[in-house]
Amino acid sequence: MRLYLDWEPESVTLKGTLSDGTEVSKEYYHIDNFLYIKDVYNNLDNIKQQFCTHRKCKCGKIYEKSYYDLCSECRAKKEKEKYLALPIVELSFPCFVNDELCMDSDSIEDYIDSNEILNNEELEIHPAIKVQFDFDIKDYIDNWESDNGLDDHIGFSDEDEIVLVECESNINRIVNSNLDWYDANTKVRMEYKWRTN
């Protein structure tokens, strides 16, 4: 079974094929009836959720219904255009090669070999960055005091201060050690020298 909504300039039609091979073509709305646009879109959303198994992409391709508004080819093209529009920076490590985190040039070589990448067009390289978590326990306590109407009511001894600083250091260490790398909003131009052996 394959059912999808076909949006034409003047109408919206449910089209497709049922499990028994029966062709379906049922017009739901025509431009002459588009009086209450909000109601039309709500109704079409219900139809899409209840009946549709597929979607029609802007390029005309019919694809299995998913979270995406575009087919896989159009999504890949859009992602490539987005990547090509990024500013170029120098290669630094760590970096992402496609979606793989590489810590050095050897890991880039390994990634290229294991994925049998054949040309530079198949490589997308982004610098990897990690945001540092910086927890200030005294600011936290001051804000807590202020939120609860207890301004300057808490006093700490020297021993307490030492414990608080140690707690702050441990919190920052634990959180920062668990933060993931993510790709920076830049790209690296790298021409890989393809082996000839």
To the question of pTM greater than 0.75 for the whole model, the response is: no
User: What residue type is assigned to position 134 of the chain?
Assistant: D
Each residue's pLDDT tens digit, 32-66: 555 444 455 566 666 666 777 888 898 989 988 88
Kindly state the tokens that stand for 56. Answer: 């029609």
Maximum average pLDDT range among 66-70, 115-119, 154-158, 162-166 = 162-166
Q: Which of 28, 21, 74 is nearest to 51 (CA)?
A: 28
- By CB neighbour count within 10 A (0-12 exposed, 13-18 middle, 19+ buried), where does 56 fall? middle
pLDDT value for 191: 53
The pLDDT of 136-156, averaged and rounded, is: 80
* Domain spans of the chain, in order of start: 2-74, 88-130+181-188, 137-177
Q: Is the pLDDT of residue 71 over 90?
A: yes
Distance CA 29, CA 51 (A): 16
**42-51, 71-80, 160-169: least confident range:** 42-51
